[in-house]
């Protein structure tokens, strides 16, 4: 068990290091002249040189890389070029806001998709199964801005059920805040529903066909008990893994949703950074996204192995 965990952590560290190289290469080496990119093609060469110098981008690439990574390791993410505030502060605030939005999405989608997946598996091949499977597949494939348009039109403009605006006065009570976050979280729910329901369905079907389920049925347990005690416990394990890996997609979706609804989270921050060519913010923002993904998958692996004795004991060779 311990060896398994250590190996996973080591792999994550290697991945993180490679990620830092990729981000550095993409954002420092590719643009060539950073100052020129920021100031535009008609700027005075002297102004470009001055900006390059003050940004430190006229130094050798290796020096810049170690300087940047050193800063990251000390928690110094640099200063944003467009907001003129420390990047760490911006990211922390954005991360908090995104977390609220993502939490609302997860609270809705996890029970819903597990329920959907289990129902689909129990009614395999029937109409309800086809509706959930094909509907989930289509919803998953739909870009968030397309589903947002349709949801805004139906839920806000026509039925007037949910507010479009996410802007609420800061002193509003939490329930109203959550109420305003429901509409922007629904496109994320739709994307995630298909994935999670599909994995839950597959896991449930496998559990239903297993010998232990047959034994439980044959020894006369009521069907409800079989499903809850024997099938669900096993079928939900893969679901945990998939929920964690979806955090990656979730952040991609947040870029669109937050930009569209003008919600100040990490996604909108990334979008602003990219459109303003705010390189310190881009670099730190992207590596934060990578870290979130790696931590989530690591936690998933750990909880998965804690739940699954086959993995938990495999390390004891």
Q: How many residues does the chain have?
A: 317
Minimum CB distance to another protein, residue 216 (Å): 31
Contact 17, 294 (CB under 8 A): no
Minimum CB distance to another protein, residue 82 (Å): 12
Minimum CB distance to another protein, residue 225 (Å): 35
Within 13 A of 229's CA, how many CA atoms are on the CB side? 10
User: CA-CA-CA-CA torsion for 18, 24, 25, 29, nearest 10 degrees?
Assistant: -160
Contact 51, 33 (CB under 8 A): no
By C-beta, is 126 or 214 nearer to another protein? 126
By C-beta, is 53 or 130 nearer to another protein? 130
How many CB atoms are located within 10 Å of the residue 35 CB? 20
By C-beta, is 104 or 273 nearer to another protein? 273
Pairwise CA distance, residues 133 & 194, whole Å? 7
> By CB neighbour count within 10 A (0-12 exposed, 13-18 middle, 19+ buried), where does 225 fall?
exposed
Minimum CB distance to another protein, residue 174 (Å): 26
Minimum CB distance to another protein, residue 256 (Å): 6
Q: Look up residue 79 and give its DSSP letter.
A: B
Minimum CB distance to another protein, residue 186 (Å): 15
Structure tokens of 21?
Answer: 């190289």
Residue (of 54, 78, 63, 13) closest to 278 by Cα position: 78
Pairwise CA distance, residues 14 & 28, whole Å? 21
Q: Which residues bind another protein (CB under 8 A)?
A: 11, 14-16, 18-19, 22-23, 26-27, 30-31, 37, 137-138, 141-146, 149-150, 152-153, 157, 164, 248-249, 251-253, 255-256, 259-260, 270-271, 273-275, 277, 279, 282, 286, 289-290, 293-294
Minimum CB distance to another protein, residue 196 (Å): 17
As beta bridge partners, residue 79 has: 86
Minimum CB distance to another protein, residue 129 (Å): 14
Residue with tokens 């590596």: 287
Contact 148, 157 (CB under 8 A): no
By C-beta, is 136 or 203 nearer to another protein? 136
By C-beta, is 8 or 100 nearer to another protein? 8
Give the distance, in angstroms, between the CA of residue 163 and the centroid of all CA atoms in the same chain: 24
As beta bridge partners, residue 133 has: none
By C-beta, is 5 or 274 nearer to another protein? 274
Structure tokens of 239?
Answer: 């679901």
By C-beta, is 137 or 232 nearer to another protein? 137
By C-beta, is 106 or 293 nearer to another protein? 293
């Amino acid at each position: 068990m311990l060896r398994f965990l250590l190996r996973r952590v080591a792999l994550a560290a290697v991945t993180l290091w490679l990620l830092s190289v990729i981000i550095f290469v993409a954002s420092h080496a590719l643009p060539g002249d950073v100052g020129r990119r920021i100031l535009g093609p008609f700027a005075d060469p002297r102004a470009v040189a001055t900006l390059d110098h003050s940004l430190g981008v006229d130094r050798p690439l290796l020096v810049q890389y170690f300087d940047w990574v050193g800063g990251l390791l000390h928690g110094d993410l640099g200063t944003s070029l467009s907001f003129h505030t420390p990047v760490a502060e911006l990211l922390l605030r954005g991360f908090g806001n995104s977390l609220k939005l993502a939490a609302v999405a997860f609270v809705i989608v996890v029970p819903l998709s597990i329920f959907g997946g289990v129902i689909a598996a129990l009614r395999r091949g029937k109409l309800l199964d086809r509706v959930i499977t094909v509907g989930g597949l289509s919803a998953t494939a739909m870009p968030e801005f397309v589903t947002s348009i349709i949801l805004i039109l139906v839920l806000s403009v026509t039925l007037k059920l949910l507010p479009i605006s996410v802007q609420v006065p800061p002193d509003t009570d939490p329930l109203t805040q959550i109420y305003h976050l429901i509409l922007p979280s629904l496109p994320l729910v739709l994307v995630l529903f298909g994935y999670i329901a599909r994995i839950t369905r597959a896991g449930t079907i496998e559990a239903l066909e297993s010998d232990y389920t047959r034994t439980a049925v044959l020894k006369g347990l009521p069907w409800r008990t079989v499903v809850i005690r024997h099938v669900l416990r096993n079928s939900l394990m893969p679901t945990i893994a998939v929920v964690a890996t979806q955090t990656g997609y979730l952040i991609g979706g947040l870029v669109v949703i937050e930009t569209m609804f003008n919600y100040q989270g990490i996604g909108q921050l990334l979008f602003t950074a990219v459109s303003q060519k705010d390189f310190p913010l881009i670099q730190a923002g992207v590596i934060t996204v990578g870290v979130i993904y790696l931590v989530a998958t690591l936690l998933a692996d750990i909880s998965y192995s804690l739940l699954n004795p086959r993995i938990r004991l495999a390390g004891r060779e």
